Amino acid sequence: MVDAVILINVIPGEEQRIKQELLKIDEIKNCRITFGEYDLVAEVNNLDKIRSLGSIMTRKIRQIPGVTKSVTLIISESLENDNSHINTTN
């Protein structure tokens, strides 16, 4: 399975509209507006192969008017935060 984070730049002022367009893509599980070098961060999870990610990028995300740049980070390892070891009864 392939998980990835996609960093996206958009035309200024188009963040909300493009976020809503991205969330219409079934493979995108989360999308957030950010401050800094990139405007949006989208997450895709459990893709069957890297080729699927390439298709999402070229046929869906980069086709949205207003998207100017994207950088894809393929996740190699993930550590889930498990706070069950924290004693909350103090």
Domain count, the chain: 1
Contact assessment for residue 10 and residue 67, using Cβ atoms and an 8 Å cutoff: yes
CATH number of the domain where residue 27 is located: 3.30.70.920
Q: What is the pLDDT along the chain (90 residues), one digit of tens a residue?
A: 678 899 999 999 999 999 999 999 999 999 999 999 999 999 998 777 777 888 888 999 999 999 999 999 988 876 666 665 566 565
Contacts (Cβ under 8 Å, ≥6 apart) of 45:
1, 3, 29
Identify the pLDDT of residue 52. 81
Instruction: Fill in the DSSP letter of residue 12.
Output: T
- The string of DSSP letters for 13-70 reads T-HHHHHHHHHTSTTEEEEEE-SSS-SEEEEEEEES-HHHHHHHHHHTGGGSTTEEEE
Residue span of the structural domain in which 31 resides: 2-71
